[in-house]
Structure 1
């Protein structure tokens, strides 16, 4: 009996979450923003509804427009940016993604990135600090900045979040804005692997996106130049993201630790 009731509740939640993703775009265009981002969002919405089934929660932790917020998510597929971006836009915020600068050399990605005021970052170079400075300015201006803290798609063979990079923590500790963890699951079934592929749209795959409470970082704010504080903040952020993914997958994290791409295996997150 209890199992049937649980399944009914899950089915009702799925129906509600799927209905929310089918709603029209009502999020106001931010002041000073041109029409490109809105048109792109509407196009992405049409394509995602056509090719996938999206199930969202209510994004209750997301602050309203005008308040700076740092959104962090797991990264398993090329489709993640569209899936999470659409979820955030339909939830009331227009994200400014922090993405690898190489993409800005690819047409039309670079053109769209500039028109939609996305933020390029030259990873692993001395110019990376310029991208972080632009992201910090956006946060201090009350915008929503979205980042994949892993620095790229996870290399964990089981697609769990891998060890995070500390750039996201540096932004969080320098600005004090809320850090909101987002977990998603299902994009890898539409666009699997580490190379661009033709999306698998039949039968329709389900993409689920959920949001957690702000990551507790108050005790570390202002310590963005302290390596130990950066590592601690990054690990807390990744743990919060992983909890969202665990809920979606209905599994417990394997006990052997976190995948570390620099070492090619699971290790303690500390």
Structure 2
């Protein structure tokens, strides 16, 4: 495993008051729980919009990626459950930090376009974090499963970099589907940022399902490769597809 790379110089601070409050609330706890080691942070653009696409294997992943981005000076915007925006203080912080509310509605009904909101954030030159798996991976050993199109669609339509990212170690703090946090001993979390996905072959083309599927597979391959480096293991040769195992891709599937 390579050592962590020098952090790139940031042109303008994105650490607004709302993000500083979030950092004040979260950083001491996360620092107590884990040591964070960042790899190849120079791949993250120093300014301008981009989509960051990490693997997803623990409910604490968004906080982990948020800490990593804080350390390199880029502030993340996520798509969060709309119900959280109604919680006192929490809702105010989410709104002030530019997070995107997403309504959960019955299958078959429309609740607006969260990808449109993500593109609007990208238009402002900000960073959007989109988990391509859409939910915690169902893969038994927590390797990335089949990806969905949201991250690629946003990057292609906005014409901005797509940064594959892998983290490992969060499962030791909060195991998949668990609600119990492990405090001792202090853990180590590694985050590796990959080179932007080359989407040049799709420029000028109609963004249809074929294009999205091909580009998403490129993204998932890159994320998996980064995770292989962190874990020092080889991922399964075939990408895990929950549908082939009679599993839903949303909600809790198993206790582990």
TM-score (norm 1): 0.81
Q: Which moved more, 1:37-46 or 1:138-147?
A: 37-46
Give the equivalent residue in structure 1 for 2:61.
80
Question: Would you say 1:188 and 2:171 are equivalent positions?
Answer: yes
Question: Residues 78-131 of structure 1, C-alpha deviation per residue, up to 9 Å, x if partnerless?
Answer: 1111111111121121111123445445555434321211112346652352x1
Give the equivalent residue in structure 2 for 1:154.
137
Task: Return closer, same or farther for 1:162/1:144 CA change in 2, 3 Å cut-off.
Answer: same
Whole-angstrom CA distance in 2 between matches of 1:235 and 1:72: 13
Q: Secondary structure at the match of 2:121?
A: helix
Q: Which moved more, 1:35-44 or 1:165-174?
A: 35-44
Give the equivalent residue in structure 2 for 1:218.
200
Higher RCO (CA < 8 A, seq sep 6+) = 2
Give the equivalent residue in structure 1 for 2:70.
89
Whole-angstrom CA distance in 1 between matches of 2:35 and 2:102: 32
Whole-angstrom CA distance in 2 between matches of 1:160 and 1:148: 14
Whole-angstrom CA distance in 1 between matches of 2:139 and 2:212: 23
Give the equivalent residue in structure 2 for 1:99.
80
Whole-angstrom CA distance in 1 between matches of 2:175 and 2:88: 23
Q: Is the 8 A contact 1:27 1:92 kept in 2?
A: no
Question: Residues 188-231 of structure 1, C-alpha deviation per residue, up to 9 Å, x if partnerless?
Answer: 1100021422x112011111111110011111135464110011
Give the equivalent residue in structure 2 for 1:4.
none
* 1:41 positional shift: 1.8
Q: Secondary structure at the match of 1:209?
A: strand
TM-score (norm 2): 0.85
Q: Is the 8 A contact 2:79 2:101 kept in 1?
A: yes
Question: Would you say 1:53 and 2:35 are equivalent positions?
Answer: yes
Question: Residues 161-214 of structure 1, C-alpha deviation per residue, up to 9 Å, x if partnerless?
Answer: 1111111121111111010111100001100021422x1120111111111100
CA RMSD, Structure 1 to Structure 2 (Å): 2.5
Q: How does 1:162-201 map to 2 (within 5 A)?
A: 162-197=145-180, 199-201=181-183
Gaps of 5+ in 2: 248-256
Q: Is the 8 A contact 1:174 1:224 kept in 2?
A: no
Gaps of 5+ in 1: 1-9
Task: Return closer, same or farther for 1:43/1:174 CA change in 2, 3 Å cut-off.
Answer: same
* 1:39 positional shift: 1.9
Q: Which moved more, 1:97-106 or 1:216-225?
A: 97-106
Give the equivalent residue in structure 1 for 2:17.
35
Whole-angstrom CA distance in 2 between matches of 1:262 and 1:113: 33
